[in-house]
Structure 1
Amino acid sequence: MLIVFVVALLACNKHSSSLASNPKISCIESEKQALLKFKDTVIDDHGVLSSWGSEPDKKDCCKWWGVKCNHHTGHVTVLNLSSSFPLSGKISPSLLELQHLKYLNLSWNNFSGNYSPIPNHHLGNVSSLRYLSLAGNRFLSGGNLEWLSYFPLLRHLDLTEVDLSQATNWLELVSSNNLPLLEHLDLSGCQLPNPVPLAIPLNSSLSVITIIDLSFNSLSSSVYSWLVNLSGSLVDVNLQGNLLNGSIPDAFGKMISLVHLNLASNEFAGGIPMSFNNLSSLQSLDMSGNNLTEQLDEFLDKLSGSEKSLRILNLGENQLGGALPDFTRFSSLEELDLTNNQLTGPFPTSFQQVLPNLSTLSLSGNRISGMLPNFTVFPSLVTLDLWNNSLNGTIDKSVGQLSRLDYLGIAFNSMKGVVSEAHFSNLSSLKHLDFSFNSLIFNINSNWIPPFQLDTIRLVSCKLGPDFPKWLRNQNNYSQLDISGAGISDVVPNWFWDLPPNLYYLNLSYNQMNGLVPDFSLQYSGYPGIDLSSNRFEGQIPRLPSNVTSLNLSKNNFSGSISLICAITDSQLNYLDLSSNQLSGRIPDCWEPFQVLGIINLANNTLSGKLPSSLGSLSQLRALQLRDNNLSGELPESLKNCSGLIILDLGGNRFTGNIQPWIGTHFAELIILSLRSNKFYGNVPLGICQLNHIHILDFSQNDLSGNLPRCFDNFSALVHRDDSMEENIGLDYIEVRTGDNAYMWGTYLANALVQWKGQEREYGKNLGLLKMIDLSCNKLSGEIPQEIASLVELVSLNLSMNNFTGKIVQDIGQMKNLDSLDLSANRLSGKIPASLALLHFLGMLNLSNNNLSGKIPLSTQLQSFDPSAYSGNPQLCGDPLPNKCPGEEKGPEPPLIATGNEKKIEEEDGDKLITQGFYISMGVGFAFGFWAIFGPMLLSSISGYACFKFLDKLTDWLYVMALVNLARLQRRLQS
């Protein structure tokens, strides 16, 4: 109803009965009462309208917040209720009594209502409204916009985010005589119908429109035909966030009065047309987030007409190429953003002129190389962002003269050399410093007092140590500090732990810091993330901030109980890693408050006792890793409520009981399930086969018995190839949540301890590529299910040390990705399937200690394994075993007889060519040829993994071929 009230209110513009001569006249009593009735129907949770009232000190409504009156008549002419503390509720019809409004601003509130036809009895005299803003009322619908025709004096119309999805005639309404004075039109984010009608009659009155904002409406190129008719008057055009694609049309080049043009976040390709040379008044151009592929120097040449006017140029997030040109010819330039393009080469050797007003230079995410220039040619720089390029050499000390610099970011480059006080000598305005991931050595005097107070300090992998950097003692206001991997091997001084109250991110990881960590329980303004992992801190876990978001204390020497986590009361914790310490005692039963907790890693400690039932309250839990502790008892039934689990690792404990079917039925997203090295008993439940996403299934070293379920072909991720799976299993989590609800995301890289080719290995990197089933060291019996042969993506299968009987699965050759197969120490019988010879990539095989019989199939692979892979099978014969199969024993060859043996003689002569030198030459030639072809591929990060996987398998094949040919060569030489 809001639109109804607004239209009716502004359409009833009655002539005032008298004029007041007193300049101190107060507001009209009837209008005051109308405003009070309006207040009564509004929900005002923040007291925005607290100055409105009937008390004696509030009697003049012209002095109320948001209200302005005519000094002569006392009538309300301005009502501005836009606020950072939004009002909500309904709009009272009492506003209809405010008949003299010229300015109405109800923007950025939460008023709601749907459009309905305007009653005729509300249509009075034509409204005198000049300014109308309903922006930001997202629950408001504007209907078909017919009501706009009642405001002929309107100059400024802002309906940002009002739902206009039903306004199929929006373009016709704003293009007619009904709004002859309209200058400013803002319909951003209004869900405007698309496509725009092509045949719209344009009235000459529209020549006064100067500002138009149609951003974020999913409009297509059909809007051009309308805009081109406005080209003479347009000063500001914003079409950001639409579906404009293809080449940029000449229509924009014809808007010769343009001062601001925003075409960002569309799908434009190529470059800009030559007609952009006509834009001699252009001050800002934003074309970021498109698919522009032009060479940057050619792009800038087409803007030569605006060399003296252009102040802001944003071309970030495109594919612009070429070297970085000399852009100093744009003498008025203040902001230049070329982030995330494909620029290469060094900085220009010399800049033609100083740019006195350049405040922002953002070149991050390119491939700019070479040394840093002397930046004193840009004396007004506030932001210098060179993040993630290929820059090398040392940092020029001239950067220390940029007295206005606020942000200095050179992270992810190849910078080297020493950083001293001279690099910061005059940076009194610096707030953000990021030199991370360079080979920089800080050589700072211990008595140095920096000229700045930093907000962000990120010096990851820079060498600050071995001593703790004393200059940090003078930094009292930082909100982020990351000095991880900085080579610090010192005791952390006590003064450091007096951390700023606005801290929301602290990372000291991957150093060798030691000492005790004091009380951390001070309340911080944000929701801090704390990472002290991979150091040598000791003592008990400190008291923690009650509002901590992420906590990583892993790989230290902390000892004692973990019960202090129960003091985290703000329930915003979503990441907890206390693994690889010396923690003991029970896991506390206080998990109910942590409703956003997604990752728990308590592995590699000496925790004991049963799992608390309150763990089952963690409905958002995705990773639970408790391996290598002394935990015992059965798994609590409540755990099945953690249905979002992706990783469940309980290996290396003393858990007992049956493996519950709900592990399969309730954990449908599991990728890693490890229950290895526990005391589980009973059957493998049928429900396990519902784990469609499983990559690692490890039940080894338990007391499981009975037959395996015949449903392993339900493991979809092991049956079908998934090219979308990445090498690492990374789980995103909120690392930091600031006080204003901004988020900084971290990624937890999962790890798993597995038995791989006879050795225990911990995998983190490339874990996503490891697909394995390990059921070894149990008491499982019966035949190996035929369905296991369908697991064509399986890399490792270990069923050793059980009581399996029957034959090896005949179709095992279908499992073409098998790299490791261990069926040893069972009671398998019969022949080795011939299809086993099809496993060309098999790198480890163990069939020993069974009852296998017959001849080992011939292949380039099976004969390459050590005889021990087949030992303990008395009735097995054939190469590589020493015992030959019946009929394979050969006597001395008969002498050659010329008559009738020409073919045999020819073959003998041919073999004489295969000498030892032949094989050496073949090997050398292959090596050179191989590296000539595959060497460049190995240098490509994209094809690297595929190449290395191919090489691993190729190496096995070459090894087999070498053994076979060497044996043949030796026989030839001996004969």
Structure 2
Amino acid sequence: MFNNSILSHVSTFSSLKGIYLNNIGLKGVVDLQELDSLSNLEELYMGGNEIKKIVFSKGETSWRKLTWLGLSNMSISDGNSLLQTLGLFPSLKSFEFYDTNFSGAVITNELPSFKNLTHLTISDTVFNNKFLQMIEGMTSLQSIEISSSNLNISDTLFDKGICKMLHLQHLDMWDNDFMGTLPCCLANLTSLQHLDISSNHFTGTLPCFLANLTSLLYLDISSNNFTGNISLSPLKVLTSIQDLRLSDNHFQIPVSLEPFFNHSKLKKFYGYGNEIYAGIESQYLAPKFQLNDISLSNCGYNGSFPKFLYSQHDLQVVDLSDFNSKGKFPVWLLNNNTKLEELYLVNNSLSGPLQLPIHPHMSLQELDISINSFHGHIPTEFGAYLPMLQTLNISRNALNGSIPSSFGDMKLLEYLDLSYNLLTGGIPEHLAMDCVSLEVLALSNNSLQGQIFPTNFNLKSLLYLQLDNNNFIGKIPDGLSNCSLEGLYISGNHLVGTLPRWLGNQSSLEEIIMSKNHLEGPIVVIQFLSSGECFYFIEQQLLHRGCSSLVGSIGGACSVSNRGVTTEIVRLNAWYSSEDGFCSLVDSIPEPVAGIVTSIDGVSKSKQALDSGPELERSDFSFCAASVDDVSTAPKHGPIEPPGNSPI
């Protein structure tokens, strides 16, 4: 980390054209006069510093070539002075202000006009409204981005400024507080190619004057409150559009997309979160577009796949989740679109067996067909025909049979979820050895069996392992010690043996659920965690069936060093299973724990143990069948309902 003195060293590089002073420890008043010798400087960016004021040279400056200035993550105490100084740079073409607060009065008649400015970006930045009125004088602007800055129509930003910029090509006004209908003056911006007014509060139907914006290539009006039937909107005449985003409004959109059949340049269409209706599809019209991306998810449709999809051959991303579409797996999408990278068909009414493409598909990276009614075996050559998959989710279907060994051919796989099916058999060795990039493996709620992993496995990237509610046997594999586990979910199996001591060395481990097994032995020692994390960890160890042999000292298991722990996450529970017995803890409760433990449920403590520990409040502990006043009669063990599983 540097400080303000770094500037004097930078000044020795007289040929510099660009300086990027990001997150280097600049603080307070930064005097840039030390950089006057850099006469060739064209770009200056200062971000992520604690700058309150920037001092430039007064009068004639040597930075006559400076064209681009960017400031971010700072609070400028005298915005008026800074803006005045910027007028001394005759070649300045671009301002970029991110997450910056300009305080102090801004007197517009004292500020330069910035008539040469072509690009202005203001994001997450608080400006005095009078500065925004200056935009009217920036007559050369070609690109404006003002986002996440809590502006509204009352700022007259459109009427007095933006709408007078007849050469404007790029306008981003997303994530502000604009309300009401679109300003009519936008009809003047006939050179506009990019318009983004998403994530505002605009209402009403799309006005007819949008038909004037015939140069538009990109239009994003998503996440507003627009209404109306798209078939009657002016969008159907904007045939130059390449990227159209209408999502999360209240439009009615025909599933055929027939209003856009003449949009030969259209590549991306996002319509999710609207109302899709069937309408009347012409038998003689075909779309002129070849889409790359399409999303019509969560639209309340109830029918077959859109017919126009059968004529598409350049698709890369398809999202028809929550579409309530019926029929078989659309393998034709894979056969017709060899460049398809992402396919999402979540929560539909698809059924029948899974089908593979005619030839191996070398582009598909993400496939999510969860929450459907697919049945039968997973095809034996599944992995060989989809070898490039990185994400695969087939959970919550009715698939049976074993997991194909060919899953090991998907060597780039990072996320695999086959949970909530009817799968049997074990985890294939080919998968366990060759899916070396796998981070999430979710196989819960099946009928899988055998050892968790074969003797040899190589899943060193594994972060989450979810195997609960199967029929796995044997011990927790020691090979998991080579992973950086964050979540381990193995409840509802038939695991035996002692808790492996390497669990205490898993510094990234956040959650363990191992209820309803037959584990035994001492609670493992955990020295690296804060007290809150430590007792949460012990809680999860105690959540398992047959824990009558799991014993240990709380004090010995934890190195309690932090009493400032949120009590909501600190609970020691010993859950009871009517089939397999109870838990016991020995030794007294260590003194630092009294301030952080909220309850010990179902754990028997002798009166002597309580007496040897600190004095406890009545609300600190709840016993199964006895009050704190009568701890001597508390049963050694007592039933409590077991917790639910904690899915990933």
In the TM superposition, what is the alpha-carbon distance from 1:593 to its structure 2 partner? 5.8
In the TM superposition, what is the alpha-carbon distance from 1:464 to its structure 2 partner? 2.7
Quickly say closer, same or farther: Cα 1:297–1:448, change in 2 above 3 A.
same
The aligned counterpart of 1:797 is 601
The aligned counterpart of 1:382 is 242
Residue-by-residue CA offset, 1:667-689 (whole Å, 9 max, x unaligned): 35544333333333345456598
Q: Secondary structure at the residue paired with 1:293?
A: coil
The TM-score, its normalising length taken from structure 2, stands at 0.75
The aligned counterpart of 1:456 is 317
Q: Where does 1:297-336 land on structure 2 (aligned, <5 Å)?
A: 298-303=156-161, 306-326=164-184, 327-336=186-195
Partners of 1:322 and 1:770 lie apart in 2 by 50
Question: 2:367 is matched with which residue: 506, 509, 523?
Answer: 506
Contact 1:811 1:835 in 2 (8 A): no
What one-letter code is carried by the residue in structure 2 that aligns with 1:215? G
The aligned counterpart of 1:282 is 141
Partners of 1:295 and 1:583 lie apart in 2 by 61
CA RMSD of aligned residues (A): 4.9
Check if 1:231 corresponds to 2:87: yes
Quickly say closer, same or farther: Cα 1:691–1:367, change in 2 above 3 A.
farther
Question: 1:263 is matched with which residue: 121, 135, 139?
Answer: 121
Quickly say closer, same or farther: Cα 1:165–1:700, change in 2 above 3 A.
closer
Partners of 1:684 and 1:672 lie apart in 2 by 15
Partners of 1:331 and 1:814 lie apart in 2 by 70
In the TM superposition, what is the alpha-carbon distance from 1:583 to its structure 2 partner? 2.6
The aligned counterpart of 2:345 is 483
Check if 1:605 corresponds to 2:447: yes
Contact 1:284 1:312 in 2 (8 A): yes
- Percent identical pairs in the alignment equals 17
Partners of 1:234 and 1:703 lie apart in 2 by 75
Check if 1:405 corresponds to 2:247: no
Question: 1:666 is matched with which residue: 505, 518, 533?
Answer: 505
Partners of 1:191 and 1:165 lie apart in 2 by 8
What one-letter code is carried by the residue in structure 2 that aligns with 1:582? L
Q: Where does 1:72-111 land on structure 2 (aligned, <5 Å)?
A: none
Quickly say closer, same or farther: Cα 1:635–1:502, change in 2 above 3 A.
closer
Partners of 1:159 and 1:344 lie apart in 2 by 40
Quickly say closer, same or farther: Cα 1:220–1:598, change in 2 above 3 A.
same
Quickly say closer, same or farther: Cα 1:190–1:147, change in 2 above 3 A.
farther
Check if 1:691 corresponds to 2:495: no
Residue-by-residue CA offset, 1:636-685 (whole Å, 9 max, x unaligned): 4444444x43322333333333334443x223554433333333334545
Quickly say closer, same or farther: Cα 1:610–1:510, change in 2 above 3 A.
closer
In the TM superposition, what is the alpha-carbon distance from 1:185 to its structure 2 partner? 1.1
The aligned counterpart of 1:622 is 463
In the TM superposition, what is the alpha-carbon distance from 1:599 to its structure 2 partner? 2.4
Partners of 1:300 and 1:600 lie apart in 2 by 52
Quickly say closer, same or farther: Cα 1:190–1:264, change in 2 above 3 A.
closer
Q: Where does 1:37-116 land on structure 2 (aligned, <5 Å)?
A: none
The aligned counterpart of 2:3 is none
Partners of 2:397 and 2:505 lie apart in 1 by 38
What one-letter code is carried by the residue in structure 1 that aligns with 2:164? S
Quickly say closer, same or farther: Cα 1:528–1:422, change in 2 above 3 A.
farther
Q: Where does 1:636-675 land on structure 2 (aligned, <5 Å)?
A: 636-642=477-483, 644-663=484-503, 665-675=504-514
The aligned counterpart of 2:43 is 186
In the TM superposition, what is the alpha-carbon distance from 1:439 to its structure 2 partner? 0.9
Check if 1:213 corresponds to 2:68: yes
Contact 1:611 1:635 in 2 (8 A): no
Residue-by-residue CA offset, 1:871-903 (whole Å, 9 max, x unaligned): xxxxxxxxxxxxxxxxxxxxxxxxxxxxxxxxx
Q: Where does 1:447-596 land on structure 2 (aligned, <5 Å)?
A: 449-450=310-311, 453-469=314-330, 472=333, 474-492=336-354, 496=357, 498=359, 500-515=361-376, 516-517=378-379, 519-522=381-384, 528-536=390-398, 556-559=399-402, 563-568=405-410, 570=411, 572-579=412-419, 580-585=421-426, 588=429, 591=432, 596=437
Quickly say closer, same or farther: Cα 1:261–1:535, change in 2 above 3 A.
same
The aligned counterpart of 1:731 is none
Q: Secondary structure at the residue paired with 1:258?
A: coil
In the TM superposition, what is the alpha-carbon distance from 1:171 to its structure 2 partner? 4.3
Tell me, which stretches of 5 or more residues in structure 1 are unaligned? 1-139, 152-156, 537-555, 726-768, 824-830, 837-846, 853-867, 871-975
The aligned counterpart of 1:108 is none
Partners of 1:310 and 1:380 lie apart in 2 by 17
Contact 2:368 2:393 in 1 (8 A): yes
Quickly say closer, same or farther: Cα 1:320–1:614, change in 2 above 3 A.
farther
Residue-by-residue CA offset, 1:55-96 (whole Å, 9 max, x unaligned): xxxxxxxxxxxxxxxxxxxxxxxxxxxxxxxxxxxxxxxxxx
What one-letter code is carried by the residue in structure 2 that aligns with 1:287? I
Tell me, which stretches of 5 or more residues in structure 2 are unaligned? 1-5, 641-648
Q: Where does 1:369-448 land on structure 2 (aligned, <5 Å)?
A: 369=227, 371-372=229-230, 373-387=233-247, 389-395=248-254, 397-411=258-272, 413-418=273-278, 425-443=286-304
